[in-house]
Amino acid sequence: MKKIHLLKYSIAIVAVITVPLAQAMTLDEVFGEIDNKATEFIATYNQEHHTNLHTLEANRKFYASNCLLPLKVKWHKLHLGLKNLPHKYVLSISCQKSIDSDHRKWDVYVDVRNEQGNSIQSID
Q: Can you give the pTM of this predicted structure?
A: 0.75
pLDDT for 7: 53
pLDDT tens-digit map of 22-67: 456 788 899 999 999 999 999 999 999 999 999 999 988 888 889 9
Query: In angstroms, what CA-CA distances link 66 with 35, 70, 77, 83, 122?
Result: 14, 10, 25, 38, 31
DSSP assigned state of 119? B
Tens-place pLDDT, residues 94-107: 999 998 888 789 99
Domains of the chain by residue range: 25-113
